Amino acid sequence: TQGQVITCKAAVAWEPNKPLTIEDVQVAPPQNGEVRIKILYTALCHTDAYTWSGKDPEGLFPCILGHEAAGIVESVGEGVTEVQPGDHVIPCYQAECGECKFCKSGKTNLCGKVRAATGVGVMLSDRKSRFSINGKPLYHFMGTSTFSQYTVVHDVSVAKIDPKAPLEKVCLLGCGVPTGLGAVWNTAKVEPGSIVAIFDLGTVGLAQRVQKLLGIDIDSKKFERVTEFLNPKEHDKPIQQVIVDLTDGGVDYSFECIGNVSVMRSALECCHKGWGTSVIVGVAASGEEICTRPFQLVTGRVWKGTAFGGFKSRSQVPWLVEKYMNKEIKVDEYITHSLALAEINKAFDLMHEGGCLRCVLAM
């Protein structure tokens, strides 16, 4: 198939909120610096639902969503040296080129090499899409577009992993689990013994395994997974006040993993005066803004954010896969449902119904 167009099945988002349809899609061969991957498993992350909803300012339609997946390299374009056909890989929406200002800064996991192109749904070399239906182009999404049996990504966006790793499980290491773990390990650097509040017990929230954890969610089905929890719906007082009262002045760290700006405010304001740090993980809708009294920061609270948990994708995803293989991190626990690609709309319904963490689709 090298150098040939592949026709395969993909779930196409034609316009916001309109059910995805499974289509025969043409996937062009990888160009210079690109890799074509046969996707075997993809999970759904809340960010896919967010962009599909039309609330993402970078959302473009029609497109192929999906960014938490695993597969096998089918072919590579010119100049690709790091992977070859047959390699097991995880596509990475956060690239790592190793050479740009960001990569060399030692201060961030963000990479600037392909971000401008991936933000507008095209490939860097010719600013075109590799996906089409009968000649009509479809936009890429997050540089990954994994809701397709074949996808084309930039070589700086591919992590080569241990071929022994079960792809139906480690696909989760493409987004949700590393984001939760990294928010704790890399962004907040939570010390043992800290009191931590996690706003929501979805996958990203639950992945933040810490000792003293207070879970806050409105889906009571999720409470069985943690020892201490609060449901804001069961309190008259603002939830930050309930937490401050419960914890002798507030928590050491808090994490917002919902994308709700009023919850982000609660998460900051439930932090302890003088040192409490709140990390924003959730992705908020276009036009939303955060606010609080500046006095909250003047008196020592810190507001931060994280993308992919601060992990450098190509160098650290393989390491996370090894940690999973050595049973040092959990992944299986977050998979509550498994379906086929054709059932993708049902998978989105499950995400919104409660009780669901990750649904993995077999391609």
* Residue positions annotated with a catalytic role: 45-47, 67-68, 97, 100, 103, 111, 115, 175, 358
**CB closer to Zn ion, 28 vs 324:** 324
Give the residue, chosen from 203, 208, 240, 247, that forms a contact with ligand NAD under the rule CB under 6 A: 203
Give the residue, chosen from 307, 329, 335, 339, that forms a contact with ligand AHE under the rule CB under 6 A: 307
d(CA 32, CA 78): 5
d(CA 171, CA 69): 4
Binding status of residue 306 toward ligand NAD by CB under 6 A: yes
Instruction: Find out whether the peptide bond into 62 is cis, omega within 30 degrees of 0.
Output: yes
3-state secondary structure of 173: helix
Q: What are the b/e assignments for 272-289, b being 16+ CB within 10 Å?
A: beeebbbbbbbbbeeeee
Instruction: Give the number of other CB atoms < 10 A from CB of residue 315.
Output: 12
CB of 262 to ligand NAD, least distance (A): 8
State which amino acid sits at residue 195: I
> Which of the residues 21 through 80 are near ligand AHE (CB under 6 A)?
45, 47, 56-58
Binding status of residue 100 toward ligand AHE by CB under 6 A: no
Q: Residue 184's closest CA among 44, 278, 92, 301?
A: 278
Report the DSSP beta bridge partners of residue 90: 159
Largest CA distance in the chain: 64
CB of 58 to ligand AHE, least distance (A): 4
**Partner whose footprint covers residue 56, from Zn ion, ligand AHE, ligand NAD, none (CB < 5 to 8 Å by kind):** ligand AHE
**CB closer to ligand NAD, 37 vs 183:** 183
CB of 307 to ligand NAD, least distance (A): 4
CB of 45 to ligand NAD, least distance (A): 5
Angle at CA of residue 15, ends 9 and 21, nearest 5°: 25
CB of 179 to Zn ion, least distance (A): 7
d(CA 255, CA 276): 11
Whether the Cβ atoms of residue 143 and residue 95 lie closer than 8 Å to each other:
yes
> Which of the residues 212 through 241 are near ligand NAD (CB under 6 A)?
216-219, 222, 232
CB of 80 to ligand NAD, least distance (A): 26
Binding status of residue 172 toward Zn ion by CB under 5 A: no
From residue 9 to residue 48, the character string flagging contacts with ligand NAD as x (rule: CB under 6 A) and all else as - is ------------------------------------xxx-
Give the residue, chosen from 63, 190, 195, 201, that forms a contact with ligand NAD under the rule CB under 6 A: 201
**CB closer to Zn ion, 195 vs 280:** 280
> Which of the residues 106 through 125 are near Zn ion (CB under 5 A)?
111, 113
**CB closer to ligand AHE, 53 vs 211:** 53
**Alpha helices per DSSP H over 199-276:** 203-206, 239-246, 261-269
Residue-wise DSSP of 44-71:
--HHHHHHHTT--TT--SSB----EEEE
**Partner whose footprint covers residue 201, from ligand AHE, ligand NAD, Zn ion, none (CB < 5 to 8 Å by kind):** ligand NAD
Q: What are the b/e assignments for 151-190, b being 16+ CB within 10 Å?
A: bbbbbbbbbbbeeebebbbbbbbbbbbbbbbbbbbbbbeb
**Partner whose footprint covers residue 218, from Zn ion, ligand AHE, ligand NAD, none (CB < 5 to 8 Å by kind):** ligand NAD
Binding status of residue 162 toward ligand AHE by CB under 6 A: no
CB of 33 to ligand NAD, least distance (A): 24
Give the number of residues written for the chain: 363
Interaction site with Zn ion (CB under 5 A): 45, 47, 97, 100, 103, 111, 113, 175
